[in-house]
Amino acid sequence: MFARVEKFESGWIGLSLALTKSQIDSLIARLCELKEEKIGHFHIRSDDFSPEIGIADIELSLNTNGSPANMTID
């Protein structure tokens, strides 16, 4: 997997993830576990903590009804 952060002039940040087909299968499996409430959350973590600043961790969890939402799937 390759992750990249893009910083916009507005101060906002974009995140791009490029996955292999097998990583897509793993992500789908973990999302299914999350949906079925078999797990409470999971992480996508860096495997390279080089001196250059990057993305250390992305946590995915189930958003319960009534919780704030500020993003959508497009």
Name the pTM for this structure: 0.85
Q: How much is the pLDDT for 74? A: 92
- Cα–Cα distance, 55 to 4 (Å, whole number): 8
Q: Mean pLDDT throughout 10-32? A: 97
Say if residue 27's pLDDT is above 90: yes
Span 24-46, average pLDDT: 97
Do 15 and 3 touch, CB atoms closer than 8 A?
yes
pLDDT at 53: 82
Average pLDDT, the chain: 93
58: Cα separation from own chain's centroid: 4
Residue 66 pLDDT greater than 80, yes or no: no
